[in-house]
Structure 1
């Protein structure tokens, strides 16, 4: 399931480490890794893919996410400097915010579960959009030649805009407009886990469309690929 699995396992890659009785603050983060190693078994208790599309899926996702957050919070509190704690929190704030509503707000969860038919219909599309977005972000962050901070900012923000457009197009083709907007809102918050840049609000889609080819092609690649996949599935 791209939401819980990617968010938690990608966090491992970023900080990679337990909420055991004794927190070990070693360089290999064995304490955190040991705690997070409990997650795969939890996630495999149900065949979760895409986004949670039933009450059972939501319960498993929430249980897994809360376990993962406790691992990170315990490790952060015991082993990280204040500056590192803030950096980690910035990295996971979007996911924490979304799951707080999904897991602890009955009204939000009820609204979410109203759209389960739509969620089931776009599962593959969500995973495709998300995987493409994650690949583009990884490629951009690994680039070192002829790259400035401002150009990287634009590339990352445009990748995020492309991801949100991809999710909306896929949802709108299969679901009602209100459902597509709701799902895009969730995608917007969750994508902050990979691109947490307040400046993206100033980098509009018009900037992306007038950016160099590699930048403007991000949204085109995401949207074209999901539309192609949708046509093949018919």
Structure 2
């Protein structure tokens, strides 16, 4: 639940280029699975742990999928995105170590992850993710190069607000108070540094009205509310590969 938001940090790296390497196409396919596994909410392959013993398997799989992302970073990204990914990966590893190695971290995660076992209730949270992916795909196909940075940062801020609202609505009846705050704390420890570094002055959703053309913002906001209703068919499963696709398009001069 917490990692799906963490991955959106890389949306801001719109000046990056993906190295043209045949192996990176295969690595990107693997990346889609790794991102899906790490976000937890929309993954049918990795069960949510029920107790401290099951946390061992959960943590092993989380670190394996984090290593997958680090491998893609090393093989397929140029220096600037590599720096940003490295910053994010380092902070996420610290968060996973707290979740997995500290008794209080395991207990806290198990308490709030109880919400994730109710898959039939997670639709609104999954929709936040899909709307965000829809925004990235629309930016890839429809936004001019000079507007991509602010558009991507605005998409992140809207997605963040969506997740916070829907997690509170869905999880509060199941896990009680504190789940939204727990996720915000995790975000603070994993993505704030990278977002501040990449998005600069585009720090809140309100700034989007100031720095983004109204026609772009109106459509972007519409997609962020409901991608399907806005006429966007989402193709990616993971936000991280939607970002990679955006960067590939940018590198080819097509965005």
Query: Based on CA coordinates, which of the two structures has the bigger radius of gyration?
Result: 1
> Which residue matches 2:244?
none
> Which residue matches 1:101?
98
d(CA) in 2 for partners of 1:224, 1:82? 35
> Which residue matches 1:181?
181
Preserved CA contact (<8 Å) 1:162 1:220: no
d(CA) in 1 for partners of 2:198, 2:81? 19
Range with greater deviation from structure 2 (127-136 or 74-83): 74-83
Equivalent positions of 1:1-234 (< 5 A) are 27-29=21-23, 33=27, 48-49=43-44, 53-55=48-50, 59-71=56-68, 73=70, 85-86=82-83, 88-90=85-87, 92-93=89-90, 95-121=92-118, 123-143=122-142, 145=144, 147-148=145-146, 151-174=147-170, 175=172, 176-186=176-186, 198-199=198-199, 202-209=202-209, 211=212, 212-219=214-221, 221-223=223-225
How big is the shift at 1:55?
A: 3.9
User: Where does structure 1 lack aligned partners over 5 or more consecutive residues?
Assistant: 17-25, 226-234
User: Where does structure 2 lack aligned partners over 5 or more consecutive residues?
Assistant: 11-16, 228-255
Task: Provide TM-score, normalisation by structure 2.
Answer: 0.54
SS of alignment partner, residue 114 of structure 1: helix
How big is the shift at 1:116?
A: 3.0
SS of alignment partner, residue 22 of structure 2: coil
Preserved CA contact (<8 Å) 2:49 2:58: no
How big is the shift at 1:106?
A: 3.1
Task: Provide TM-score, normalisation by structure 1.
Answer: 0.57
Higher relative contact order (CA 8 A, sep 6+): 2
User: RMSD between aligned alpha carbons?
Assistant: 4.9
Alignment coverage as a number of residue pairs: 201
